Structure 1
């Protein structure tokens, strides 16, 4: 029976087999155990929690070349202050290291998988991506817009500011930020799209409308479906499908039933299946070169809730790295008996 089945496979068209062959892309993993962009302790434990949950082992089932670059370390910059930006000395020092390491991983022609930490790490990951690849398209999958400046933020927490720091159209809305000279806004806001929004501050709403930012909330997903929303977003930010793609995925984009162990949960979010589908569509573009998974906090919730959240994150990561729910080809298909394919 197996021989008959493989005959069918080998006679199938290449189009039929898209997504079932094994992934030949190299993967580089970068941990960012950083929690200073917000106030809840524990989110910095995310990278180790994913490793302990079997991240490396599971990725090696998808891709033969998986390299763990370890965790970011940094030395705090003392004395940095800007009104309504907390822990700036930590943020500036850490994100500079993130940017440099993302740059290095991408220059090795690897998919850069960054495990946070809070979402302030998006400052460094996108900065490093732009410096390595030039113009990039960014999908920001999140319940929140992360689009506040220090003048509009209700908390001063930098994990709510990364998109505003990255977008060059918003550079005039910022004061001089000491310690951040390495980071110049180089990303056009027309190359950024949101998916999953449902908790947006009033000034963020104003900026989204003023600059006509591509932003799909949960009501849009309910109306059009996640596949169509994802592809509409991709067409808007990368109409010619020629730019490297960066997906920055906040675990709180998922509904709290799917991912309860996170610092700023909002009910009514994406299902896990919808999160996986976003990543599958991103992978199918063949231009996905950087992925962030952030805001998993193993200190929040019961052990069962932490396990559910980590499992959800692993499913998201594996979809981004090429896992097909249709199944993968064997690792050593060329070593099978020749008669198997006759």
Structure 2
């Protein structure tokens, strides 16, 4: 169905606060700490400004590195992740109290511990759309790897509080969302413990199988309706670039999973979430420019930026910045 004139305009009133989160200690491979740098170098701020958005770059979150950070309860680098997550939450809260939307540039997906916690301080009624190949809701005891980038939601969901030991570095954190507040889109690599958690607590989850069966339009509609039937709650969108097929995000996680979202499907998700007008925060995770060659890096950065733009008003059907009108011929303008 064609969009109305208002819907085809670029979203012009938004003030976007960009926040870099150069972090990689939620997993074992270096490189995601350079995600914010390559996305900025790719022109993300300028391209959002060209959409008519008011963009303020708030710099990078300070990252804490605890020298002796032994695993606890099978969770690696808990102090480093926990203390840095607090700084992320504090900075996200500050950004959101001065801007309309925060765009967090990660960083591995453990950064979502801090981004969601910080967002929830400002928007306690938020819902979470998790766009990812992975569910990232392992508890330390269900995780095979011990990497916290596969656990962020477990630390945030109230129903899982009794299943997660309070780790050193995480003393500040209290769960801030319910299982019913989460909807997954794009899952295709889910661990046994995660599958059990999803079913036990009734989390809305659409794998690539459902995307194939129903189509992306039906999946997005069902996901939004499941977490917010009345269409009133703020949306936290957490986007792991490996949700896209590896042919599009070649410099994402090193354990890429084939059969992911196409670029058209990813665009559709972003455009439909943008149309709600309720987006509170977007965090982008797992861009790793050290994976692959220069061609892989450029493709991943370009595809990621093109998706981000669509969360903030860039539409395939066309759009225009605020104040734009059809130019008159010079002779008419000077009469």
TM over 0.5: yes
> Per-residue CA shift, 1:158-202, capped at 9, x if unaligned?
000001111000000011222212210010110101000000101
Partner of 2:266: 275
How many Å separate the matches in 2 of 1:22 and 1:199? 34
| 2:163 is the counterpart of 1:173 | yes
Partner of 2:257: 266
List gaps (5 residues or longer) in structure 1.
Answer: 1-12
How many Å separate the matches in 2 of 1:257 and 1:21? 29
| 2:23 is the counterpart of 1:38 | no
Partner of 1:66: 55
Contact 2:9 2:313 in 1 (8 A): no
How many Å separate the matches in 2 of 1:225 and 1:239? 20
Contact 1:79 1:89 in 2 (8 A): no
1:22 Cα deviation after fit = 4.6
How many Å separate the matches in 1 of 2:14 and 2:305? 18
Partner of 2:18: 29
Contact 2:10 2:314 in 1 (8 A): no
For the residue of structure 1 that corresponds to 2:273, the secondary structure is: helix
How many Å separate the matches in 1 of 2:191 and 2:53? 43
Contact 2:11 2:53 in 1 (8 A): no
1:334 Cα deviation after fit = 6.1
Partner of 1:209: 199
Partner of 1:224: 214
| 2:247 is the counterpart of 1:257 | yes
| 2:146 is the counterpart of 1:156 | yes
Normalised by the length of structure 1, the TM-score is 0.91
Q: 1:204 to 1:15 in 2, by over 3 A?
A: same
For the residue of structure 2 that corresponds to 1:18, the secondary structure is: helix
Could you list the runs of 4 or more consecutive aligned residues of structure 1 that deviate by over 3 angstroms after TM superposition?
A: 74-81, 334-340
Normalised by the length of structure 2, the TM-score is 0.93
Partner of 1:3: none
For the residue of structure 2 that corresponds to 1:333, the secondary structure is: coil
1:335 Cα deviation after fit = 9.6
Total equivalences in the alignment = 328
Partner of 2:190: 200
Q: CA RMSD in A?
A: 1.9
How many Å separate the matches in 2 of 1:281 and 1:335? 27
Contact 1:197 1:217 in 2 (8 A): yes
Mapping of residues 310-325 of structure 1, within 5 Å:
310-325=301-316
1:79 Cα deviation after fit = 5.6
List gaps (5 residues or longer) in structure 2.
Answer: none
For the residue of structure 2 that corresponds to 1:29, the secondary structure is: strand
Q: 1:201 to 1:328 in 2, by over 3 A?
A: same
2:280 to 285, 289, 297: 289
1:24 Cα deviation after fit = 1.6
1:38 Cα deviation after fit = 0.6
How many Å separate the matches in 2 of 1:303 and 1:78? 32
Deviates more, 1:317-326 or 1:164-173: 317-326
Q: 1:74 to 1:260 in 2, by over 3 A?
A: closer
| 2:73 is the counterpart of 1:89 | no
Contact 2:240 2:286 in 1 (8 A): yes
